[in-house]
Structure 1
Amino acid sequence: MTNKGGVMTSSTQEIKNMKLISHHDLNGYGNIGEGVAIHKTRDGRRIFYMAHVAAPKDITSVDVTDINNPKLIAQTDLEYPHLRSNSLSIVGDTMLVAYQSTDHNQPGTGVGVYDISNAEEPRRIGFWNAQGPQSKGCHCLWWVDGEYAHLSSGTPDSRPTNSKDDQFYVILDVKNPSNPVEAGRWHFPGTQEGDSAPPLARHPQFDAGHSLHNANVYPDRPDRAYCAWKDSGVVTLDISDKSNISMLANVNYAPP
């Protein structure tokens, strides 16, 4: 990728069967991760929201209604330098943002709830706090039904037996956006203090931890959570009773 006269161009060796339509440098803050979503405003605009994976920026929104001429309309700052905005989801005029810290027990971690009805001025209206002695907060969230968000997160009271197992499945009830509350949780038996199951075996070479990366729940099967669990593989959970979650299936490829 090269810059010629302010226009980004690529050789045919770098891009095949694709064409660069437009580019915006986000005021020099291009550290965007997996947290992206398009929001269609009430006046018909298409706003592209992006979460930054490192300080100082939090969320950037770009008007992409004219895809050939993207316009930055808002860019917010993180509350603390140790935070990152790992993930986001949008339903209607409400946006959820996942906040994770660089170390345990740092303030600001959890899930922020935002009113984005005014795209130029996103406004926080609620917050779920995940700060705790063994918590780095929320890594990833999935929210599609407007009611329950499905998180990979630590919690204030979580006590993992290994610090790499510090994020697990949490269901967050956001029906009241100003007061999100936990509705359920599930971790691999043996990964938290007090579990009757023995601690899980560690990967001999590449120990990424028995922690959850992400969980997806689809509207046509709201009683199932499909989870990617790092060193514990792929997990299907029965969440028909959110206060009593159980594992239905586990396919584990680690170690290979």
Structure 2
Amino acid sequence: MTLPTPDFARNMRLIGHSDQGGRPDALQVMVHRGYAYVAHPWSQGFSIIDVRDPKNPGETVFVPAPPNTWNIHLQTHDDLLLVIHARDLFADAAFAVDEKVYYTKSVGETVGTAAGGRSARNWSAGVAIYDIANPTAPRRIGFFPVEGVGVHRIWYVGGRYAYVSALIDGYSDYIFVVIDLADPTKPVEAGRWWIPGMHLAGGETASWPDGRRYALHHALVEGDTAYACWRDGGLTILDIKDRTAPKLLTHRNWSPPYGGGTHSALPLPKRDLLVVADEAVLDHEEDGRKLTWIFDLREPSNPISIATLPVPDEADYTVKGGHFGPHNLHENRPGSFQSDTLIFATWQNAGVRAFDISDPYRPKETGALVPAGPTRMVDKRQGRPPVIQSADLFVDANGLIYSTDYNAGLSIIEYGG
């Protein structure tokens, strides 16, 4: 198999590639028991790729989504696969022409679900739960329904509870919801939390200005604490000892003066550190330079930013086209590669990056690979540039990096160490 030649590589090497069965678009990726589970933003469904030989990915199995529904995020643990169901917003007329609408306005208000009350809908909303004892033949065993647009992203690493961002009728945008999976065939809601001002049907009004989007991207949970990123609403740290009644410990927001888009939080509890990535959401850094922050968490009620990760600078990525800046972090999931000092991240048109934060005040980039651009565009939005937009990544227990793109397939990368 001839591999596409990366645009740039330093201390990383492309060892495998898959076009994902002819559906090269993907957002989240999980690698579980030798199979990559990829969630498609445009192909409406998810795929399972045999990567037991990572240099020669094998057969791909595609599982279609219901009509008008996207499956853009998913999670695997033991014999369970959780897949989000939500309205396909990028196919919606409100978002298809100008992506800025999606990132700068409340989704609930844009699509008309924020006022509350059930509206006619032709999509599936919630979380589908599959048994994957047979990895390539997922068997749906349960469904957690949502009355609204649906679910965006999940955190599930086993045990009784899953944690999702859900856009429910009556709320302006996605909020934090705890799902009780004591019986995975009959999941139920355990609790919810939102930033005050989001529950419009409850009489709340937003305290933030127009053009700012307060919406939970997702939360990572460590023990009884949830670290939640709210796009332009910043970071909240929640006490979830009582899953039925999450409580706010602290709320930090550095937007303004910075450009918002707070997206991914990675707690490093052994070192009392928290890494937080702000997503670049507009082309040519129109939304400003986005950064990945390192916080000192010795006093959880008062997180202090002590450094930011270096910004890729070996090329002029601002003018390259597409988004330049952070997107996702490898999340140290059980069974994957775990480190308190080595951070892996996607940087969109600047590809995949590795950072050594042994000294958290002086983080260093220690590896990079910018995959080749797509050979064809799957992205249905108008006028998108044909450049790499590395979206998500998963680092397996052996240290191999699996990275997705909106159009360019699955890259399998070896880090030089």
Under TM normalisation by the shorter chain, which class is it? 0.7 to 0.9
Residue aligned with 1:32, SS: coil
**Which residue number in structure 2 is paired with residue 51 of structure 1?**
39
Q: Which of 185, 192, 199 lines up with 2:199 in the alignment? A: 192
Match of 1:140 in 2: 153
Instruction: Give the equivalent residue in structure 2 for 1:88.
Output: 74
- Identity of paired residues, percent? 32
Q: Which residue is equivalent to 2:180?
A: 173
Decide whether the 8 Å contact of 1:93 with 1:117 is kept in 2: yes
Show the counterpart of 2:249: 248
Structure 1 residues 87 and 25: alpha-carbon distance in aligned structure 2, compared to 1, 3 A threshold: same
Q: Provide the residue aligned with 1:30 in structure 2.
A: 24
2:167 is matched with which residue: 154, 159, 169?
A: 154
The one-letter amino acid paired with 1:15 is A
- Count of matched residue pairs: 227
CA contact (8 A) 2:239 2:249 kept: yes
Report what 1:3 is aligned to.
none
Contact 2:23 2:43 in 1 (8 A): no
* Partners of 1:139 and 1:106 in 2: CA distance: 17
Q: Deviation per CA, 1:155-193: give whole Å up to 9, x if none.
A: 3xx312xxxx32100000112111110000001112113
Partner of 2:47: 60
Residue 113 of structure 1 aligns to which amino acid in structure 2? I
* Distance (whole Å) between structure 2 residues aligned to residue 128 and residue 198 of structure 1: 28
Moved over 3 A (4+): 103-106, 194-198
Distance between the aligned counterparts of 1:54 and 1:136, measured in 2?
Answer: 17
Residue 88 of structure 1: how far off its partner (Å): 1.0
RMSD of aligned residue pairs (Cα, Å): 1.8
Q: 1:122 to 1:197 in 2, by over 3 A?
A: closer
C-alpha separation in 2, matches of 1:230 and 1:20: 32
Where relative contact order (Cα < 8 A, 6+ residues apart) is larger, the structure is 2
Cα distance in 1, alignment partners of residues 255 and 152 from structure 2: 21
Partners in 1 of 2:43 and 2:19 — Cα distance?
A: 16
8 Å CA contact retained: 1:54, 1:85: no
Is 1:214 the equivalent of 2:218?
yes
What residue is the counterpart of 2:349 in the other structure? none
Q: Deviations over 1:191-229 (max 9, x none)?
A: 1135576422125xx42x2110011102xx2x1110001
Give the CA deviation at 1:243: 1.9
**Runs (5+) with no aligned partner, structure 1:** 1-5, 41-45
The match for 1:43 is none
2:25·2:43 contact (CA, 8 Å) conserved in 1? no
